[in-house]
Amino acid sequence: MRILAVDTAAKSCSVAIMAAGSLSAELITLKDETHSKHLMELIHKVLGMAGFRVGELDGLAVTIGPGSFTGLRIGVSTVKGLAHALNKPVVGVSSLDALAWQCADRSHLICALLDARKGEVYSATYRFENDTLTQKSLENVTAPEAAVEGLKEPCVFIGSGAQLYRRNITNVLGNLANFAPEDQNIIRASSVGFLSMEKFKTHDTSEAAGLVPHYIRKSDAELNF
């Protein structure tokens, strides 16, 4: 099965092609520009790297949130458009799930943290149980200290929120706080692709029209309405 996977949930923009159950090609960019300037170019390039035409795809996967409101809209709308044009199924993947899945240290509790701005983080905790990623707490948006208080065991923190609020987390947890290496804190489209594969196998997919972002927090426009 050939899957196009996309992530635009945070500052990075990433596209990957999964084929026959493994990664075929992947590109990641980090630029202070809107993802709309790079996403289609990355898609064309990664398809070329993998040696596929867009019409040869069997499905598409994309992060649906939480994350940047603008970034999520760009990624989801692009994947929806392609899926509709190709008449292919889609899978939406949590950006926090993707972060936790790519954590190399799978022996401890994992806390995925994405910078939500305004002094807050999007967060959720996970464990790997029999090599399967299991979510242990609901996705939430809160202050970083509130996201980690109550943890009583060693925990690995991963994501942009872990990078930004490392000192705050350590002040609360002390030696219980561990942090993923720097290169693991960017969401990779390949993680999105790997997480989507089981859903494609079990036909736990949706049509393009059913794909919507999962913001958690209301936008400023909604709050000010």
Fold of 2-95+187-223: Nucleotidyltransferase; domain 5 (3.30.420)
Give the pLDDT band (50/70/90) at residue 214.
Answer: very high
pLDDT-above-70 percentage for the chain: 96
- Residue ranges, CATH 3.30.420.40, the chain: 2-95+187-223, 103-184
pLDDT score, position 223: 40
Domain 103-184, second-level architecture: 2-Layer Sandwich (3.30)
Q: What is the largest CA-CA distance in the chain?
A: 52
Average pLDDT value for residue range 64-87: 97
Task: Work out the mean pLDDT of the chain and round it to a whole number.
Answer: 94
pLDDT, tens only, 169-183: 999 999 999 999 999
Nearest Cα residue to 178 out of 158, 192, 198:
158
pLDDT of residue 221: 44
Rounded to an integer, what distance in angstroms lies between the CA atom of residue 156 and that of residue 116? 19
Overall pTM surpassing 0.85 (yes/no): yes
pLDDT of residue 31: 85
Is the pLDDT at 56 greater than 60, yes or no? yes
